[in-house]
Amino acid sequence: METDNTTVISMTHKANPQAVYINKIESTTASSISALISPLNDQEHFSEICSSKKYINPMYLIECARQLETLASHKILKINSNTRFILKSWRLELYQENPQDHTLIASLRILDTHLSHTKKFIINFRSSERTIGKVSIIVCHISARAYETIRGENISKSVKYSGLELHTASGLPQVEPYEVGCKYPKDVCIRNIRKTGHTRVANIVIPSQNRILNDHKQDHITGYNLTESAKQFCFYCTIKESKEKIENLYIKRIFAKFYKYAENNQELLVRLIRKDSSNDTTRCIIEILQEGIRLSLFFIYINEVECNE
């Protein structure tokens, strides 16, 4: 049975209907569902320098997968609306090009894990009967009371969205959109990139005017926004150290692990741990830090591709 649009919006935890990219939801088995993915044509945030020309934006697939996972948690697992979702990890792999005029279908199945209240969601994306990519997400579901116990006073101290940038960034040097693979300043999530010893570090500043990145109030920085920040930093480090043109770079794999919440009222840093290359692939290992503590870890693989207009 197909799920109506109003239900889809509420079950994806989005406030802005234009930021919901899955539709025509259908249950296929007791533990799986499928959805039609909206075209990328009108989504400015996902119109990166190279990816939308020949390959679909990997962050678009991650967000579509997250929306489908969240909906499946409510629809199939019967998770109630007061339950909190704790993102533990996600992994994206891209296999083939995706011609923009082809229909994209996502199919999801749910697997048990050895951890209590934790599920693994596998989302495959198909275009013209070909699997073009896969996202796997591990999520823990906890009660609102347990969440408040874990988060404690950080909930009340968090910065609510306003006219100011999250975690105040006044005076920090800005980064040109092109240097991090973006087209528009409102999509840039990192500032004040500098060298520290043999590596690079930058501040994460989520632009408050971006409705995709700031859909609704949160008491922390989301896993999606941390991944977007790490991805941008990976692009920057790659072009600065290898002298490659950013138009010829494309992310093929992302693996992210999340250990602790990123507070939105404290300085947040992204740091390159290691970068190595083999054949056409560059691997960046990146961590996100707050008060000297690692909050998340990313393995991002970038390939060289031909990116023609």
Tens-place pLDDT, residues 249-307: 889 999 999 999 999 888 999 999 999 988 889 999 999 999 999 999 999 999 887 65
Instruction: Report the share of the chain in percent with pLDDT over 70.
Output: 85
CATH class of 1-144: alpha beta
pTM, whole model, 2 decimals? 0.90
Residue 163: predicted pLDDT: 39
- 3-state SS of the chain is CEECHHHHHHHCCCCCHHHCCEEEEEEEECCEEEEEECCCCCCHHHCCCCHHHHCCCHHHHHHHHHHHHHHHHHHCCCCCCCCEEEEEEEEEEECCCCCCCCCEEEEEEEEECCCCCEEEEEEEEEECCEEEEEEEEEEEEECHHHHHHHHCCHHHHCCCCCCCCCCCCCCCCCCCHHHHCCCCHHHCCEEEEEEECCEEEEEECCCCCCCCCCCCCCCCECHHHHHHHHHHHHHHHHHHHHCCCHHHEEEEEEEEEECCCECCCCCCEEEEEEEEEECCEEEEEEEEEECCEEEEEEEEEEEECCCCC
CATH number belonging to domain 156-309: 3.10.129.10
Per-domain residue ranges of the chain: 1-144, 156-309
Tens-place pLDDT, residues 147-192: 888 887 766 665 554 434 444 555 688 899 999 988 888 899 999 9
Tens-place pLDDT, residues 182-192: 888 889 999 99
Tens-place pLDDT, residues 1-57: 455 566 678 889 888 888 899 999 998 888 899 999 988 765 667 766 655 456 788
Equal fold, 1-144 vs 156-309: yes
